[in-house]
Amino acid sequence: MGKKRIIQENKEETLKQKAKVDAKMAEPSKTLSRRMGEGRIYITSTYNNTLITLTDKSGNVLGWTAAGQIGFKGTKKATPFAASKVAEAIAQTTERFGITKIEVFIKGIGSGRDSAVRSLAARGLEVLSIKDLTPVPHNGCRAPKVRRI
C-alpha cells in the first residue's frame, strides 16, 4: 500500500468558494419572492443528532438544518443545547420566507425535542399545533432465543 494523498486547499480557494456560496444565498430565488404566512416544521430527534426541516403547507421543503451542520460534533449533537441552536437557525430561515405561524411535527426520542420547540416559540413564531409522530411498536420483533452454554 502506498502513501495516501491528502488534498489541501489554500485559504484563498476556500474564501473564493465561501464568497460564491454567500452570493448564491443572497440572490433572491422564486420561492423567496412569495411570502407565506404559515409553514410546517418537522423535528427529528435521535440519540445521535437533531434535524429540523421547514416546509410550506403542501410539504415542499424550504430549508433544513442539523446539529452536525451547525458545527457540533460527536455526542454534543444530541444535547438540548444543540437542538435549541438548530431551532434558532431554522427560525432565521422562516424570517426569510415570511413565515410567522407554524405547525410542529416531532419524531424521535432524543433529548432535544422539548428544547427545540421552546426555542422556536421564543424566537417569536406562533405555534399553532404540536403533533408527535414517533413510531410506537405494537409488540415488536420476536426476541432471540435464550443462549445455552
Q: All 3 cell numbers of residue 14?
A: 476556500
Amino acid 3: pLDDT: 67
User: Which helix (H) or strand (E) is 94 found in, with range?
Assistant: helix 80-97
- Angle formed at CA 36 by CA 134 and CA 53, multiple of 5 degrees: 30
Amino acid 48: pLDDT: 93
User: Which residues of the chain fall short of a pLDDT of 50?
Assistant: 31-33
- Structural domains of the chain, with CATH: 37-132 (3.30.420.80)
Amino acid 149: pLDDT: 85
Q: Which residues have CB under 8 Å from 86's CB, separation 6+?
A: 50, 51, 52, 65, 66, 67, 70, 112, 116
Amino acid 21: pLDDT: 66
Percent helix, strand, coil in the chain, to 5, is 40, 25, 40
